[in-house]
Amino acid sequence: MTQTRIFARMNRADVERAFAALELDFEDVGHPIAILEVDEDADIHELSIYVEHDPDEVRAATARRLQELSISAPLEVEVLPDIDWVAKSLEGLKPVRAGRFLVHGSHDREKRHIGDIAIEIEAGLAFGTGHHGTTAGCLEMIERVVRRENPRNALDLGTGSAVLAIALAKLAHIPVLATDIDPIATKVAHENARLNGVGAYVEALTATGFGNPAFARRAPFDLIVANILARPLMRLAPQMARFILPGGSVILSGILDRQRDAVISAYVGQSFRHITTLHREGWVTLHLKR
């Protein structure tokens, strides 16, 4: 079904106020709402509302709400291509190898080798086909950490397509809580976990950071993987410390080379210690322990 995205760019304070108000406005109709950090240094955030019917009505209601909140950001509208079209456009993407993992689309199943841990991710609306340096870095780090530490209860925060949660479940056969701020991503994550035969291990849940009672229910985790961005990762450091088991590991990515030291400092301030850094295409993946 064709979806329309109604979106506007604004600063962090405004995006949070707009999100809170619109979430209530559209609670009953269930339009998914998402926030994306576009440029953390310039404080530019994008608020998106995904609509399947009556986009004009939703746009008008959103404009009224923003006006009431004195947020002057202009609303833009984008008709999203059908998922099949996206899949078609990505058919040419090559499978990605990271350690023992092979992340591939359904058209590349024959490229799997014996010994590969294959993760099939179909093109969709959620981030995480393995092609990004941050995802590949996390996959490599997951393999190292799981081999050494035998984790038993994991969290994938900012799961996107669930590629990392699926990797953890396939490699370690352990329960993984897979969360994302974006309800579309959580829907895709749930479906991908099921398609990869690890639906019983992966619970997908929509949450901003640690903002859901499910975290208390499922914690403490002995492994947390979070591929978000440097600034939210730094903000989340105290809660990471709260939800990790003593001696547990955290794998962080979405961090540019130049942001590495600041992120490590934020976590050292919460009694984590830095173990290793992997560098890939200008991005770093960190392994820290507490």
Ligand X SMILES: C[S@@+](CC[C@H](N)C(=O)[O-])C[C@H]1O[C@@H](n2cnc3c(N)ncnc32)[C@H](O)[C@@H]1O
Q: How far is the CB of 186 from ligand X (least distance, A)?
A: 9
Q: How far is the CB of 228 from ligand X (least distance, A)?
A: 5
Taking residues 222 to 261 in sequence order and writing x for each that binds ligand X by CB under 6 A, - otherwise, the string is -----xx---x---------------------x-------
Q: Which is nearer to ligand X, 37 or 52 (CB)?
A: 37
The answer to the question of residue 3 lying near ligand X (CB under 6 A) is: no
- Return the residue of 32, 55, 160, 175 that touches ligand X, per CB under 6 A: 160
Q: Which is nearer to ligand X, 58 or 121 (CB)?
A: 121
The answer to the question of residue 208 lying near ligand X (CB under 6 A) is: yes
Taking residues 101 to 140 in sequence order and writing x for each that binds ligand X by CB under 6 A, - otherwise, the string is -------------------------xxx-----xx--x--
The answer to the question of residue 185 lying near ligand X (CB under 6 A) is: yes
Count of H-run helices and E-run strands, the chain: 10, 14
Distance separating alpha carbons of residues 203 and 218, to the nearest angstrom? 10
Contact yes or no for 157/151 (Cβ under 8 A): no
**How far from 263 is each of 11, 19, 145, 289, CA to CA, in Å?**
22, 26, 20, 14
Distance separating alpha carbons of residues 63 and 101, to the nearest angstrom? 45
Is there a binding annotation on residue 208?
no
Cα-Cα-Cα-Cα dihedral sign, residues 155, 237, 158, 209: positive
Residue with tokens 């992340």: 103
SS3 192: helix
Distance separating alpha carbons of residues 244 and 232, to the nearest angstrom? 17
Please name which of 101, 189, 178 lies closest in space to residue 147, comparing C-alpha atoms.
101
Residue with tokens 């010994």: 115
Taking residues 5 to 34 in sequence order and writing x for each that binds ligand X by CB under 6 A, - otherwise, the string is ------------------------------
Q: How far is the CB of 180 from ligand X (least distance, A)?
A: 5
Is there a binding annotation on residue 92?
no
Is there a binding annotation on residue 180?
yes
Q: What are phi and psi of 210, to 5 degrees?
A: -100, 25
- Binding residues for ligand X, rule: CB under 6 A, are 126-128, 134-135, 138, 157-160, 163-164, 179-182, 185, 208-209, 227-228, 232, 254
List residues forming the annotated binding site for S-adenosyl-L-methionine. 135, 158, 180, 227
